[in-house]
Structure formats: structure tokens, C-alpha cells
Structure 1
Amino acid sequence: MSLDTRLTGRDDEAVHDVGAVLDTADRIRTAVETVIEGKTEVVRIALTVLLAEGHLLIEDIPGVGKTMLAKALARSIDCSVSRIQFTPDLLPGDITGVNAYHQERHEFEFVPGPVFANIVVGDEINRASPKTQSALLECMEESQVSVDGETRELERPFMVVATQNPVDMEGTYPLPEAQRDRFMARVAIGYPSPQAELDMIDTHGSRSPLAGLEPVAKAADVQNMIDRVRAIHVSPSVRRYAVDLVSATRSSPALRLGASPRATLHLVRAARAYAALEARSYVIPDDLQALAVPVLSHRLLPSTEARIEGLPVEQVVRDLVARIPVPD
């Protein structure tokens, strides 16, 4: 189906905007998928979060490609990239930066931390203490850093791509609720298919696939896409549907902590980006349904009864999506 036939009922400017987003997004997706094979939906969610100017949490067991996905996304864009290896002895200043005394000038000088980059890759974020994890709260929510009473703006686009191991693994600290709520979406990569694993042996066995990955877009291109995505239309009925979905998590007996108003904003922003990747200049309920699990589930806490029954939070979200009436 062509782009023009899918963009029914929209003017030429909207078609052009979405077409420009698709062109750049396809280049980034193709570059990432040369490294991460057989995980089309995971890459799609990562791109959605990038275009929605959010932050991505990748949670899974070691060795399935969490860090590889984060690095591939970062390297496919010609922008400033930094990597933070979270460890138990990491300090907040190691992330945000510190004021260091300059001996020759006899004055303090700010030394920026790795958070001063367009894309920040946080590897195994839940191996650091909650105090250190909290150093990212202001950065992720307000795109700024405050050190010793002085606030510094972070360059846009700004995105944190963090990986974490399951909390029941040795040497991990659970992410605080406030920290999880800053992430727009959470994805799990999962094991590859047998064929993808065979292909991986051929392509990854002799060298790292990241070595040959060249940038296919610039930071300015990404910021331009973000600006265009903000103009995607969301009708009043679809907005109400988003509120109904999030509100349902707050009254569900299977949950003891529902989603916050920030989750509603993230869901709508992500839906705009998802619609653009679907070659549409408007959001439909299907976009919200497709994003409900990755955007909402990591913010929710199951009730005691749900834990005893072994009911996953993701299934609770799916049940709510199935129950909430869809607008015409």
C-alpha cells in the first residue's frame, strides 16, 4: 500500500511531514536490524520512543543483546553518545559531573559527566544503588542537570537507553517507582529464533557487527522528526480512550499501584510516533492498544492476590485493553 493511499483525509503538508519521518526512520531501522536480527517489533518500539522524545528501558536476562540494541541505535545516528556502566560503587557525580578545583586558575571548573550527550547508554542500570539511580531523575524528566545549585541544559535530542537484568538476579537493586515512571517504554528482547541464532553465528562469529555500522542520520534529522511527530493529530475521542485505559489501571483489583498521569502523556506521545511509523498523520485506537503493554506495564505493581496467582502485569494490561470500549 502506498503512502498516499494510507494518508486519507489529510492535506499535502501532513503527507510530506509523515513521509519525511518515514524516510529517516526507515534508514535508522535498517541500520539497527543489521545488528539485531529477527526482533522487528522491539526495534520498532525503540524507534517509537526515539521519535516521541522518551527514554527506553530494555529488561531481559544477560546475553540476549540488550546492550547491542542500545549501542546499535546510538551508532546509527551521527550525534554525541556516551555509555555508563552502572556498578555498586558508582556515585551520582560520576553521572552528572562535578565541580573540580583547577590548580592553575585557582577556581572551580565544571567537568561534565557522561549524561551530557544526545544518547546515553546506561548498561545494567539496576546494579547501581538507588542513590546513584536517582541522579538520572532530573535529566530524564527535565533535560537538565543541577550541580551545586547551578542548572545546565542538556542538548536535544536527549534519550536514555538503559538496560537491566531481572530483579531476582544476583547483585541487582530494584528500580524505584519514580525511576521506572521516567521511562516511556520497557521492552524485552527474548531469545532469538533458531534460524536467527544460526545467522548470528555467521555474522557475529568473526567480528562485532557494530564495527561496520555507519551513521545514517544526524542529530538535527532526529530533532526534525521529533518536531514533525508532535504535529500528528489526536482526536478528542482517542484522547479520551487513552485516559480511560490509564484510569482503568488505578481501579483494577489486580493492581495495587496504577499508572500515573505521566503515563497518559507518554502513551499519547508514543502513539503519535507509532502512527507516523505506520504512515499516518493521525492516531487511531489501535496505536494505543499496541503500545499499552510496553508503555504501561513497567509502572504498575500487582496486588498480593495477583502475585499469589502468578498473574503477570502484562496480562492485566491486556485484559484491561480488551475490556475498555473502543471509540468509533
Structure 2
Amino acid sequence: MIRVRIGTLGAARITPSALIKPAKLVPGVEVAAVAARDRSRAEAFAAKHAIPVVHESYEALIADPSIDAVYNPLPNARHAEWTLRALEAGKHVLCEKPLASNESEARSVAEAADKHGLVVMEAFHYRYHPLADRMVSIVGELGEIKQIETWLCFPLPRFSDIRYSLPLSGGALMDAGCYAVHLARLLGGGEPTVRAARALLRSPGVDRAMSASLEFPSGATGRVNASLWSSQLLKISARVVGSRGQMRVFNFIAPQAFHRLSYTVDGVTKRERVAGEATYTYQLRAFVSAVETGEGNLTPPSDSIANMAVIDEIYRKAGLAPRGTI
């Protein structure tokens, strides 16, 4: 029995991993429609992935009365716009991160979701894997937290990619760094103040790498590191130091593929592997639960507002304008 019918905006490269494959594993879900700017591309995508309906436009898809929810993997600058349109049409939304170009846009989405009583989930898929909760649990064993550092760095030398486009709200901090900021906030247990930031630019206003120093309400210091192109080619990690020990994690983004988790408490070191399904499967299952029961949304717009507030301030501290404000 199909309980949640989802329409996808566009035929983005991430959609098969983030939506199509998980929908085959989560009972009651159907990817029922697709729309793209190029109809032929939408038709090819629909044929490849057995999607029954191709709409002429994004507007037609969100107006389809048979669709319960919308998946929004459009470029960053279109996230808030089309999420708001979907909410106005009465649809729940699973939106790729970052939810918006800046804090103000995130607030607009939160207000609309509250107004219409609909679910908006920002697709920080790692948060739904058991590894995320295990990291939080271990941090609780480390005593007084002194330092938190997160990295999400990977090479993207294809400089024509939209992730380097200022009009489309690109930049390393927006793409990779939003994860690093999100995880630092999760492990820090509070909302940090940005003390300093430094950007390496690909083009005027567009960061190819970003690092920032944070301070948490507890007094712990933090650092986030993001890169699409820098000397740090690949690092997807976290490190937390406390008065009783420390924790290190490698590959918190896709732990189902491979990850390392080690921690030392009171001089005793342990290593663990946290078993589980793909992060995207957990995320889609949680989205369906939130739609049906109102429970399970760990990344609602209120969390998005806090994350974007930190991102905006990092840009300011680095001497750059927050995205969508130029």
C-alpha cells in the first residue's frame, strides 16, 4: 500500500542515491512524478527509474493533487524558493542541504511550514544513521569538552560546477562546510559564536576552501574546515577533546561504506564499528514517519535557521557576503 507519493524537482545526480534507491527499501513510498527544465531529460530519467508521471514544469508537479511530498535537489539558490512554493501547494518537503541561501530565507521556510502544518526536513542524511547518536553518546563520556574540530574536504576540480557559482549560492562552506558546521553544533551541544574565519577563493566571492574558529557556550573551542579544492584533498572527520579523553571519527557522512570510530576515556582506548543501512534509507524512513505521525524529524527548519546563522557569520568573518545577499 502506497502511503506517501513523492515528486522530485529536476533530475539531479544525487536523486538516485538520496531518493530512488531508498524508496525501494522503505515500505509505503513511491517516487510518483518528476519534472525538469528539459522535458526530454525528465523523460529519460523517468524511464530509467520507472517513475510513472513526467510533468511539464515544476509548477505542474507541485500542483499535482496526487503528490503528497516534494523532493528538492535543485541548486542552493532555488531551495528556499521551491520549498516555499511546495508548502503553499500543501506538500511536505524533503530538501537537500543547505535548506536556504541564508538565515533569513531559512526563517521564511520555517514560518511557512508552521503556517501550513507541513513537514520540512533538511537532508543532513548522516544525522539519521546510528553513528550520529553514538558519537553524541561518546562525547558525553569525555568529561568537560575542550575542543571540537570537524572536516569535510574533497576535491572538485571541475570549476564549471554549479557549486562554484555565486548566483546559485555556491561555495565550499555552503556545499561541504554546511555538514562540518552541522556536526560541530551537534557535538558541541549548543550554538557557537564565530570568532574568526579565513577563505581561499576560486573567484570573487566564491570560496573553494573555508576554515573558521568557534566558541561554544560551554567555553569549548571549535574549528570547522571545508574544501572543494585545496591542499587538503580528502578529509571527512571529526575530533572531540575532553577532560577525560578524546574521540576521533572518520567518514561520518557515509558510514555504511566504511568508517572508523575510536575513543579514549580515562586512558582506555576502544574502537567500534556502528552497523547500519545507508544514511539515505534512514533519512527517508524518518521523513515518512514525520509526514505520517509528526515524529522523527531530526533536521527541521528550526535547526536549519541555527545552521545558516553560523554559516552567514563565517562568511562575514571571512570578509565575504552571505549567499543570496549580493
Larger RCO, structures 1/2 (Cα 8 Å, 6+ apart): 1
Query: Does TM, normalized by the shorter one, top 0.5?
Result: no
TM-score by length of 1: 0.28
Q: Higher helix fraction: Structure 1 or Structure 2?
A: 1
Which structure is higher in strand share?
2
